[in-house]
Amino acid sequence: MAISMGGAEDGPMSDINTTPLVDVMLVLLIIFLITIPVVLETVDLRLPDVAFEPTTTKPDNVLLSVRTPDSNGDGVPDGSGECQVFWGNTPIDSTQLLEKGQKKLKDLLEAIGGVENITDENFPEVHIRGDVATPYKCIGGVIYTMQYAGFQKIGFISQPTGAAALRARD
């Protein structure tokens, strides 16, 4: 701490005591040195680049489309919370989705001769096309229902954008 004893003049002291300012700055520096490594710590991941991966379609695959209705006619879903699911082009509800999925797998097992004959090549996949404005609860419900029905591979179909669409066409 700095102490100034009055010198020749006995008037008021006009010097600013910077010691509290320096103390506060040191405390802030220590706080930042401790918190920045915590904030910047991440898990090293190498995410897959799937922009150019072609989709292999088999005749047994299930193509589902999920959207929310547009009641206003303005092209924007109204957010009413109602989910529409289509098996191919046929609208179905969640009960029908479960029954149809279970029936498809049961018919497949009968056709190939039992569970012991299942391979990656003959087991159907579920391909979901979800509208960009569809809430996650709609798509998540379809995923859960199809997993409950017995499907193991569920994927998403997306529209490539920009340069990716041009390269995919070539």
How big, in percent rounded to 5, are the helix, strand and coil portions of the chain?
40, 10, 50
Instruction: State which H helix or E strand residue 126 sits in.
Output: strand 126-130
Beta bridge partners of 40: none
More confident call, 68 vs 103: 103
- Tell me phi and psi for residue 57, to 5 degrees: -105, 135
- The DSSP letter of residue 123 is S
Q: Which CATH number applies to 62-169?
A: 3.30.420.270
pLDDT band at 41 (very low <50, low <70, confident <90, very high): low
- CA-to-CA distance for 114 and 150, rounded, in angstroms? 14
Helix axes 136-149, 94-112, angle to 10 degrees: 30
- What is the pLDDT, as a whole number, of residue 88? 85
Cα(128)–Cα(20) distance, integer angstroms: 62
List, for residues 101-135, the tens digit of each pLDDT value. Answer: 999 999 988 888 888 888 878 788 898 888 877 88
Count of helix runs (H) and strand runs (E) in the chain:
4, 5
- Residue 147's pLDDT is 93
**CA torsion, points 10, 16, 20, 26, in degrees to nearest 10?**
-140
79-83, 120-124, 132-136, 161-165, range with the lowest pLDDT: 161-165
Which two tokens mark 83? 């989910």
Cα separation, 62 vs 45, in Å, equals 31
